[in-house]
Every structure is written in structure tokens, then in C-alpha cells.
Amino acid sequence: MALMSLFTRRVDNTPPETTAPPREPEAPKAIMRFLTQGGAPVDLRPARFTTRFDYRGAPYAADKPYEIDGFNWHCTGCTSYGREGDTYNDPGYRSLEEARTKANAHAEKCRSVVLPNQASA
Ligand SMILES: [Zn+2]
């Protein structure tokens, strides 16, 4: 009897969906990828973020926070992400070279793996 229920045809009476579900804005594509010691990808992407960085350097800060285009990395294993500088602690890097160096340094030390329920690119 249990087998019969496995092969019972089910009728789906729900009407077809007429509108597409709302979509989250997609993150920019990764432009570089590093692997942790455990094989989790560390993705480096373009990022727009708000900063108070002033080109005169610390301890000066811009009068108002402003947005700039830069880069950031995110470890899909341990969920860490990059922050630039001790003073402004920006959630991104102005320089691709610095973001790349920091992403690679994180991947070199991090031993995390990707959990099966997080495996996506
Ligand atoms: Zn990590």
C-alpha cells in the first residue's frame, strides 16, 4: 500500500503564476576568485560604498560622507568581507590592487569550506 501512494498522480489545481516574482538586485559579477585552504571561494567584486576618507589623510575626514566606486571581497566560507583602513574602516577598497592583496591574504589563511546549503556562485 505504501508503494501505491508513491505512484499516485497528483493534480495541481493552482493557477499558473502570471507575474514574475520580485527579484533582488543582483550583485556585480566577481572579477577575481581565490580559494581558501578549505576550498571556499573568496570573490572580489566591484562595489560602491560610502566613505569619509579625506585625501589629506588621517586624522582629517571629509565634511560629509560620500559614495565612491571601488572593490570588495567576500569569503563564501566564513562570511568575512574586506574593510579598508583602521581610521575610516570603509566597507570597500578604493584600489583594486589593495583589494586583491587582502583577498588573497584572507584566502591563504582561511580554512573554511563551503557548506552544502551555501553552494552557489
Ligand atoms: Zn574566510
| 51 — pLDDT class (breaks 50, 70, 90) | confident
Give the Cα separation of 21 and 11 in Å (integer). 23
Give the Cα separation of 95 and 88 in Å (integer). 15
Give the Cα separation of 82 and 115 in Å (integer). 21
DSSP label at residue 92: S
DSSP helix/strand/coil, 69:
strand
Higher pLDDT, 110 or 86: 110
Cα 93 to middle of ligand 1, angstroms: 18
Cα 54 to middle of ligand 1, angstroms: 30
Cα 73 to middle of ligand 1, angstroms: 10
Cα 53 to middle of ligand 1, angstroms: 26
Mean pLDDT of 50-58: 80
- Each residue's pLDDT tens digit, 78-93: 999 998 876 667 889 9
- Each residue's pLDDT tens digit, 63-82: 888 999 999 999 999 999 99
Please report the pLDDT score of residue 79 as a whole number: 94
N residues, the chain: 121
